[in-house]
């Protein structure tokens, strides 16, 4: 297949492009997110993509949740999707976010869990989903909306949780966990790439969770990295811990598993690949 990828040099996009090429697909993409505003449509039509994976969005830790750029990405993304339809693409796969869902103490299901985005980031993502779904129903491209949970692994931003912990512990700095009991669904970036390609190859339509279906506490992430680095005794927990607006965010992955996907990495092996990549 010919696959076009936005954000092709970003965390998710880069991993996907490498994996898709390894599986024999032809891949082209936009390297810079701002080019969503003025894509090279003549080149795109010449490439004649079968499907498009849209990963480009602001994702800088500490900035993305409330950035005013979210509104720009919403506008650009809808216009870009319409352009891809006109360029002949027959399937549009876009990254959503698990925090489109309302907070819950149960696994989050695409069909039954409440959708109630709160931050500008989640609100913009959900608004794009609704707009693209409306366009699809009115004769646009078939849409797959991939709600991504918590990716980690080689290539992630240095200020993401796992990489920040590796940096601190490797420098023998004490680490105080602010939300040690917070439980999230962490998925290795290579498993994300495999899941997204499975969604494309199966021509899936609708909303689908991209996670592993298991929750891991922050204290387990920190403890595992400390063991890998042989840096015991440096991790402590705040008392009392800080509140977390999303203390339990775990995916129901029955839909993804129905496509034949299973994760290849458990937490220890996945974090080992990250630690090794940061040496």
CATH numbers and ranges of domains, the chain: 2-150+188-210 (3.40.50.720), 153-184+214-249+265-277 (3.90.25.10)
Nearest to 149 by CA among 270, 246, 229: 246
- What percentage of the chain carries pLDDT values higher than 70? 99
* Radius of gyration (C-alpha) of the chain in whole angstroms: 19
Instruction: Give residue 37's pLDDT.
Output: 80
In terms of residues, how long is the chain?
A: 279
Is 168:175 a contact under the CB 8 Å cutoff? yes
Q: For 87-127, what is each residue's pLDDT tens digit?
A: 999 999 999 999 999 999 999 999 999 999 999 999 999 99
Is 82:44 a contact under the CB 8 Å cutoff? no
135-139, 167-171, 188-192: which range is least confident on average?
135-139
pLDDT surpasses 80 at 36: no
Contacts of 137 (CB under 8 A, 6+ apart): none
Rounded Cα gap, residues 232 and 136, in angstroms: 53
Instruction: Give residue 34's pLDDT.
Output: 62
Nearest to 266 by CA among 199, 228, 212: 212
Mean pLDDT across the stretch 27-56? Answer: 90
Q: Which letter, b or e, does each residue of 230-253 get, where b requires 16 or more Cβ atoms within 10 Å of its Cβ?
A: ebeebbebeeebeebebbbbbbbb
Is 147:207 a contact under the CB 8 Å cutoff? yes
Mean pLDDT across the stretch 167-177? Answer: 96
Mean pLDDT across the stretch 66-78? Answer: 96
Mean pLDDT across the stretch 265-276? Answer: 98
Is 3:50 a contact under the CB 8 Å cutoff? yes
pLDDT surpasses 70 at 33: no
Tokens of 188: 């290795």
The CB density around residue 171, as the number of other CB atoms within 10 Å, is 9
Q: Is 110 helix (H, G, I), strand (E, B) or coil?
A: coil
Q: Which residue has the tokens 């994976």?
A: 53
Tokens of 208: 């689908």
pLDDT surpasses 80 at 31: no
Give the mean pLDDT of the chain: 96
Dihedral sign of CA atoms 147, 152, 156, 157 in order:
positive
Instruction: Give residue 30's pLDDT.
Output: 87
């Amino acid at each position: 297949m010919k696959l076009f990828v936005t954000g092709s040099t970003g965390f998710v996009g880069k991993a996907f492009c490498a994996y898709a090429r390894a599986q024999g697909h032809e891949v082209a993409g936009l390297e810079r997110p701002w080019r969503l505003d003025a894509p090279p449509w003549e080149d795109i039509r010449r490439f004649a993509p079968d499907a498009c994976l849209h990963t480009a969005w602001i994702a800088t830790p500490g900035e993305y949740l409330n950035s005013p750029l979210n509104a720009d990405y919403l506008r650009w993304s809808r216009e870009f999707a319409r352009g891809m339809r006109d360029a002949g693409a027959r399937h549009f796969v876009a990254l959503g976010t698990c925090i489109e869902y309302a907070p819950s103490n149960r696994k989050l299901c695409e069909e039954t869990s409440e959708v109630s985005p709160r931050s500008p980031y989640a609100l913009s993502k959900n608004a794009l989903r609704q707009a693209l779904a409306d366009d699809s129903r009115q004769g646009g491209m078939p849409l797959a909306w991939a709600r991504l949970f918590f990716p980690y692994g080689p290539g992630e931003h240095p200020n993401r949780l796992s990489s920040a912990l590796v940096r601190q512990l490797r420098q023998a700095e004490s680490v105080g966990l602010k939300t040690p009991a917070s439980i999230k669904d962490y998925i290795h970036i290579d498993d994300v790439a495999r899941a997204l390609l499975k969604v494309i190859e199966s021509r899936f339509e609708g909303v689908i969770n991209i996670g592993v279906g298991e929750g891991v506490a922050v204290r387990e992430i920190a403890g595992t990295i400390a063991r890998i680095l042989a840096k015991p005794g440096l991790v402590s927990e705040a008392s009392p811990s800080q509140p977390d607006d999303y203390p339990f965010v775990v995916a129901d992955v029955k839909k993804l598993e129905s496509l034949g996907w299973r994760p290849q990495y458990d937490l220890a092996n996945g974090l080992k690949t990250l630690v090794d990549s940061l040496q």
